[in-house]
Amino acid sequence: MLSAFEVVAEPNRRRILDLLREGRRPVGELSDRLGLTQPTVSKHLRVLKEARLVDVEQDAQRRLYGLRPEPLVELDAWLAPYRALWSRRLDALERHLDTMADEPPESSRRNPASRRKR
C-alpha cells in the first residue's frame, strides 16, 4: 500500500481531493470537472481508496466518493516544522520591513540640506 505522501504526490489525485473537500461526488462528475476520462478518474479513486483518503457510499445506482481527512494528519504533522520555519522567516521579514519604514528615505539621508529646502 502506498503512503499518503506517495498518493498525494500525483497532481490529479490532489485535484480529486480538492473537489471532494466540497462534498461527495460521483465518478462522472469528477471526470467532467477534471477533464479526464472516467477510467482514469476511477483508477485514481481506487488508489485514494486504498490509501484510505476517500470512502465510497452507495446512492441508488451510483457510487459517491467522499474525503476521509484523517490520513492527512500524517502529512500535516510532517509539514508542521516547515510551517514554523516559514512563520519565523516571515516574522523576520516583517520586522525588517518595519525598520525600513522607520528610516528616512535614502536620498534625504545623503543630502540633509534637501530636507531643509522643503
pLDDT recorded at residue 37: 97
Q: Under a CB-based contact definition with an 8 Å cutoff, are residues 38 and 27 in contact? A: yes
Domain ranges, ordered by start, for the chain: 4-67, 71-103
Question: Looking at residues 4-23, what average pLDDT do you find?
Answer: 94
CA distances in angstroms from 110 to 72, 91, 113, 114, listed in the order given: 55, 30, 9, 9
Question: Looking at residues 6-18, what average pLDDT do you find?
Answer: 95
Q: Under a CB-based contact definition with an 8 Å cutoff, are residues 17 and 48 in contact? A: yes
Per-residue pLDDT tens over the stretch 31-79: 999 999 999 999 999 999 999 999 999 988 899 999 998 888 888 888 8
CATH class of 4-67: mainly alpha
Question: Looking at residues 16-41, what average pLDDT do you find?
Answer: 97
